[in-house]
Chains A and B, each alone.
Chain A
Amino acid sequence: MRRLIVRQIKSKNSKNLKQSKMQKEEILKDLMYKIADDQLIIGHRNSEWTGVGPLLEEDIAFSSMAQDKVGQSWAIYKLLEDLGETEPDINAFTRNAEQFHNSQLVELPNQDYDFSLMRHVLFDYAESIRFEMLALSSYEPLAQLAQKIKGEIKYHVMHGRSFVRKLGTSTEEAIIRLQKALDYSLPYALGVFEPSKYEDEMKQAFIFEGEKILEERWKEQIETILKGTELKLPNWNDIEPIYGGRYGIHTDHLQPLLDEMTEVFNVDPTAEW
């Protein structure tokens, strides 16, 4: 009888262990998909400035950031592959819009340079803090990669910050344009921090401190940078975040972007370019 009980306990423990391993993988996938998808989609949008930037240096800046971000997304898809997901190219190029977990902010069309710049600043500050937090993750492969990426993102933040400072204190037209872009972007920017279904579990497992803390730190930094400009930040409580992206709900702009991005792949999946 006693032996039977011991056996039962043992089997229950191993089942729990298996379950907790499975759950940890689910949490990690959920977390890494949204980050990789954000990087890939914003990377694609940044690349749309190649050849048409308002200044040669800006053309190069957005193209370089695109290259960084797409490369970083590849590295995160690679970590997903290690957890049993499909290989990076297939993963990036064969999903439909509703299977993407990027925030809606990154999929919005570039529009004028004022919006692209404002989105870049709002998004990259969030990215930069996110990777700083992830560099401390208990999931070692992600922590190592985040450690590397956070150094690269600093240059993106530096670029965005210097331009918002320059333009946000310059002519009336520049200030009006940037203010409009800011007001338009903020609800989408807050959507970046849409809570995942695993917030508590992530925290308990020391995988990631969570969207809430990230959002608070981001707000502080955005307040600081905008203080150095003529731009007015509305009261945070008056902004209604636009959620949905993390759960596959997107604007009508994502699918056409994916169609364009996968054009070559769809003609010949084995093509190298």
Chain B
Amino acid sequence: MVDYSELNKDQILNWLEEVKDPEIPVLSLVDLGVIKNVKIEKDLVEVDMTPTFVGCPAMDYMQKDVEKTLEKYGIDNYQVNISFKEPWTSKNISEKGRKALKEFGLAPPREDFVIVDIDLLEHVACPYCESTNTELKTPFGPTLCRSLHYCHDCQQAFEQFKPV
């Protein structure tokens, strides 16, 4: 059992760093930006989450992983909410998260994007050689959040975490 009065938000966020995106195991849910808020009230910890894509099939797993992690640190009175109050956009990925994506071989979504336009996806920087001499192969990849690209310079196929 933990003393709820001694808990603080940063501490809990720190613990939640351990929970990774099941499809991109180098990226924590905190860095991905799907953990929206942590509230501590008397003897209850509330965590607000929002999915990257509405139809994301990994959401249930992520929710359960968050619950398990809270339990691991002795928090047995919790509520994990999923809502669209603050809808996720790819701008919610932290700098650390963007770096992790790139190291994983996934091009991070462009930060300056406003409206998704085909041109914006056409010349994504290659995560291996930085070249923008690349081509969008298809906006749909192995998961809802990835698109498929090809780099004409290093002749590698790569994926991008889609901007939304």
A residues lining the B interface (CB < 8 Å): 57, 60-61, 63-65, 67-72, 74-75, 141, 144-145, 147-149, 151-152, 154-155, 158-159, 161-162
Contact = CB atoms under 8 A, between A and B. Distances in A.
A124 B13 CA distance: 39
Mostly, the A contact residues are: helix
Chain A CB count within 10 A is highest, among B85, B88, B140, B147, for B140
Given A145-B84, A147-B87, A159 B53 contact: no
A65 B140 contact: yes
Contacts of A71: 53-57
B84 A152 contact: no
B57 A67 contact: yes
A75 B53 contact: no
A158 B139 contact: yes
B139 A67 contact: no
Contacts of A69: 55
Given A69-B55, A71-B56, A144-B85, A57 B116 contact: no
B117 to A, nearest CB: 8
Going nearest first, the 3 A-B pairs with the smallest beta carbon separation are A71-B55, A148-B87, A64-B140
Contacts of B116: 151, 154-155, 158
Contacts of B85: 144
Contact of B140 (A57, A141, A154, A161): A57
A162 B84 contact: no
Given A67-B55, A68-B53, A144 B139 contact: no
B48 to A, nearest CB: 13
Interface in B61-90: 84-85, 87-89
A154 B113 CA distance: 13
Interface of B: 53-57, 84-85, 87-89, 115-116, 118, 121, 137-142, 144, 147-148, 162, 164
Given A57-B148, A60-B138, A144-B85, A155 B56 contact: no
Contacts of B139: 61, 155, 158-159
Chain B CB count within 10 A is highest, among A72, A75, A152, A161, for A152
B54 A75 contact: yes
A60 B118 contact: no
Given A70-B55, A155-B162, 14 more contacts: A60-B141, A61-B139, A65-B140, A67-B55, A67-B57, A68-B144, A69-B55, A71-B53, A144-B85, A148-B84, A151-B116, A155-B116, A155-B139, A155-B147
Contacts of A155: 116, 139-140, 147, 162, 164
B138 A61 contact: yes
A155 B56 CA distance: 15
B84 A72 contact: no
Given A71-B53, A155-B162, A162-B118, A148 B88 contact: yes
Contacts of B55: 67-72, 74, 152
A228 to B, nearest CB: 13
Contacts of B84: 75, 141, 144-145, 147-148
Contacts of A149: 54
A145 B54 contact: yes
Contacts of A158: 116, 118, 121, 139
A190 B89 CA distance: 32
Contacts of B148: 57
A148 B140 contact: no
Contacts of A162: 118
Contacts of A74: 54-55
